[in-house]
A and B are shown apart, each in its own frame.
Chain A
Amino acid sequence: GQNIDQPTEMTATEGAIVQINCTYQTSGFNGLFWYQQHAGEAPTFLSYNVLDGLEEKGRFSSFLSRSKGYSYLLLKELQMKDSASYLCAFMDSNYQLIWGAGTKLIIKP
């Protein structure tokens, strides 16, 4: 079967670093995605990893290990505007996106 799992909620402090983990199980894999969704708004694309390793994009980085079925999103120099839900999704062998339930990130001053 297929499944994807990420923590329901995390809390971090403004200016700090936070790592949001995502684990998945699938027989076919065609990439892993991270999206950001502010409350009451549309999800917006953050990153796409298809090969192992770290992809850096400004304050945000995304890591993938295909052998471990594991990814993380690293957010540095946290700002209050980073308070949002972060959605992890993988593309399966049928090129369907399978989404996690999202991690709600709360930033405290």
Chain B
Amino acid sequence: IAGITQAPTSQILAAGRRMTLRCTQDMRHNAMYWYRQDLGLGLRLIHYSNTAGTTGKGEVPDGYSVSRANTDDFPLTLASAVPSQTSVYFCASSERRIDSSTGELFFGEGSRLTVL
């Protein structure tokens, strides 16, 4: 089934550790995004990539980094995890960059990260 695959589904991490959340899509979408979702708040954009080889900062980029070496993969790295990064992380993609499309995003199933 075509779509977005995220890994791991869930992870408990000690503060200060490095962690990479993986995201792979097989829809050949150009644009990809990382969001975090916290209780009582709307989805917040961390980083995005409009096309392979380019990335940009979203609303809450501090403490996170991304890379987009190819069309399919968009990993999110926490260099040194802190408890405030405890959240559910969603990877998403869109066929074209958001300003030239209907805005339909396709989301992965999420990665639940707990930082102790």
Pick from B58, B104, B108: contact of A42, CB under 8 Å: B108
Q: Which residues of the other chain, A, contact B99 by a CB distance below 8 angstroms?
A: 30, 91, 95
Taken residue by residue from 25 to 42, chain A's Cβ proximity to chain B (1 for < 8 Å, 0 otherwise) reads as 000001101010000111
B107 touches A43 (CB 8 A): yes
Identity of the chain A residue whose Cβ is nearest the Cβ of B35 in the assembled complex:
A99
B: residues with CB less than 8 A from A are: 40-45, 58-59, 90, 97-99, 102-110
Q: Which residues of the other chain, A, contact B104 by a CB distance below 8 angstroms?
A: 45, 48
B43 touches A87 (CB 8 A): yes
Cα separation A4 to B42 with both chains bound (whole Å)? 9
Pick from B45, B90, B106: contact of A96, CB under 8 Å: B45
Q: Add 19 more A-B contacts to A30-B99, A100-B42 (CB < 8 A).
A: A4-B42, A31-B102, A33-B103, A35-B105, A40-B110, A42-B90, A42-B110, A43-B90, A45-B104, A48-B102, A48-B103, A48-B104, A87-B42, A89-B42, A91-B98, A96-B45, A97-B98, A101-B42, A102-B42
Pick from A35, A40, A91, A101: contact of B41, CB under 8 Å: A101
A45 touches B105 (CB 8 A): yes
Q: Does chain B have a CB within 8 A of A44?
A: yes
Cα separation A89 to B42 with both chains bound (whole Å)? 9
B107 touches A99 (CB 8 A): no
Identity of the chain B residue whose Cβ is nearest the Cβ of A102 in the assembled complex:
B42
B45 touches A97 (CB 8 A): yes
Q: Which residues of the other chain, B, contact A54 by a CB distance below 8 angstroms?
A: none
Taken residue by residue from 82 to 109, chain A's Cβ proximity to chain B (1 for < 8 Å, 0 otherwise) reads as 0000010101000111111110000000
B109 touches A42 (CB 8 A): yes
A31 touches B103 (CB 8 A): yes
Q: Which residues of the other chain, B, contact A31 by a CB distance below 8 angstroms?
A: 102-103
Cα separation A42 to B40 with both chains bound (whole Å)? 17
Cα separation A43 to B33 with both chains bound (whole Å)? 14
Cα separation A42 to B90 with both chains bound (whole Å)? 8
B42 touches A99 (CB 8 A): yes
